[in-house]
Structure 1
């Protein structure tokens, strides 16, 4: 299924959390570009990469909590960090565990990075554009918006960002922070409350009611996974001397309510989706929309897939049981 290791003249890119939703799509894009990639996770993937790229993809068993980072970092071209062991709900239930399983391993990784030649290996980190800003004082939110999370999940992401900037300042680590909005697409968990679009589509396709927290008026910046990936790849490939900032919003700049999502799905599948309303959650900000002007200017990147198109692609992929969006 996978190479146990990659040989050749080029060093691979390392994708931590490479079997997860974002990680697998980034790995696929890297391999399609002709580069080699090593995906790292605690358990082997339960899906198949397309045949044409398998020779360029290797999997290694890695626990970020106990990894021997330095030998690994010396063999790679870049590190994509998508290994995060919580979602907002679980982080809220146990904030101390959230710090232990997420922030502590990141600091260990950064300690290894400072032993490398300055700026030799870029580190791309997936932060949370939907939680780090908290309740927005301006819409859409630029990267200069105050970081004021109202969730434990967002607080840990902010702390992670602070450590990344610290190591950039003190040791010259080439850190690049992607504040990703609300990604969706095939391959995302359909049972997690974090992936509302995937979960909504999956429930509708099973003729089951869709659970909505609150009255459905909360607004999110939903971004299709192919646009997330193109933004992350653009960020990873930018020349370091051309990056005046370390933080970039990756979103669409447009907001849609959960009710909008349900109405769009009704139109796509041609039937009314059953909805079950639950009490709203205190840690859900009412509006989260990101300004992506900085990424457009510095990275020459813009999202291309509309909500209607992206949801349509996701419906078709989930009908076929696909692990990837296209």
Structure 2
């Protein structure tokens, strides 16, 4: 089957999307906010569905926001005017999901099924893009980089939940003809991520650095992950949303396609500060996959998408944004003056 023509792309792979009406479920998180801003920038209508009220810092001009618990969302009254649903709502990480798998299924997979049921009742009028976990659904990969054809074999409750969600999406696609797409995302990072939440190695390590606390690593530091800068991730997710998927290809890996060990990541971060980072190595954890790198050749070929921001550049951009935020906070609270704070966090003086 012939592929649809690729979207026109601008600086660093940004797609010029068709105008449309979008719902973002989980639109107050890191990914949801980033996608919402891009859609609004391009003139799209955006409705954000959030489980809890968001602070002013995450609201965006032009977006409507619905606050409701997942059991209370009235999908029948929301869906019909919209073209695309972006699904990012997920309230666990591998560690927390392992602690209560049943609760993880109740709070994460069940709400997705309720949405799919609502979509089934009104018919295939809009498409849904579910953001899965490229780092956990494959388990211990047999092939590196790991392609989309690799069996789903998660070794964490978090990965099992994401895999279960994928299977339900496939069920509704096959039986009811819903347009369900899956983006298996690598480890996103970048400006806008709340480093205090402790989600993802880069976020956790940066929080430790700015707190001047030791960085904790589980194992010997040779665990390898695929890290993708937020701008590249947004471009990839929107490319999945915009493409005309074929019956056989509706799942795409979205990552950098390159692996980086935790020790190498520490070395990159060391270059950003003028003090010696302290690293504590702790016993390894059984649920940590030793290596996870995504094969992104399908996305390159069928979506006309590829990442543009390398790890060292992305880390520097992220670090600088956080540093400026720290400066603003220090000045606002009269803790220090700007020049002193800049020296402490290794930023050049203002000319």
Shift of 1:226: 0.8
Q: SS of 1:114's equivalent?
A: helix
Q: Give CA-to-partner distance per residue, 1:287-315, whole Å, 9 cap, x none.
A: 00000000011110001110001100110
Structure 2: how far apart are the matches of 1:93 and 1:223?
28
Shift of 1:280: 1.5
Q: Is the 8 A contact 1:132 1:158 kept in 2?
A: yes
Structure 2: how far apart are the matches of 1:285 and 1:129?
12
Q: Counterpart of 1:268?
A: 272
Shift of 1:243: 6.4
Shift of 1:49: 5.9
Shift of 1:271: 3.1
Report how many residues are paired: 308
Q: Is the 8 A contact 2:28 2:58 kept in 1?
A: no
Structure 1: how far apart are the matches of 2:55 and 2:277?
30
Structure 2: how far apart are the matches of 1:182 and 1:321?
23
Shift of 1:283: 0.5
Shift of 1:73: 0.7
Gaps of 5+ in 1: 1-9
Q: Counterpart of 1:72?
A: 78
Structure 2: how far apart are the matches of 1:88 and 1:205?
24
* 1:24 lines up with 2:33 in the alignment: yes
Q: Counterpart of 1:95?
A: 101
Q: SS of 1:135's equivalent?
A: coil
Q: Counterpart of 1:125?
A: 130
Q: SS of 2:195's equivalent?
A: coil
Q: Counterpart of 2:151?
A: 146
Q: Give 1:15's match in structure 2, choosing from 14, 24, 27.
A: 24
Q: TM-score, normalised by structure 1?
A: 0.90
Structure 1: how far apart are the matches of 2:283 and 2:71?
36
Structure 1: how far apart are the matches of 2:310 and 2:212?
25
Shift of 1:244: 4.0
Q: Give CA-to-partner distance per residue, 1:77-128, whole Å, 9 cap, x none.
A: 211000001111110000010111111111111101112332x201010100
Q: Give 1:291's match in structure 2, choosing from 272, 276, 295.
A: 295
Structure 2: how far apart are the matches of 1:283 and 1:66?
34
Q: SS of 1:102's equivalent?
A: helix
Distance 1:113 1:184, change over 3 A: same
The 5 Å alignment of 1:232-271 reads 232-240=237-245, 242=246, 244-271=248-275
Structure 2: how far apart are the matches of 1:192 and 1:269?
22
Structure 1: how far apart are the matches of 2:238 and 2:182?
12
Q: Counterpart of 1:313?
A: 317
Distance 1:133 1:176, change over 3 A: same
Q: SS of 1:204's equivalent?
A: helix
Q: Which has the larger radius of gyration?
A: 2
Task: State the Cα RMSD in Å.
Answer: 1.7
Structure 2: how far apart are the matches of 1:95 and 1:256?
29
Q: Give CA-to-partner distance per residue, 1:55-87, whole Å, 9 cap, x none.
A: x21211122233221211112221100000111
Shift >6 Å, 4+ stretches: none
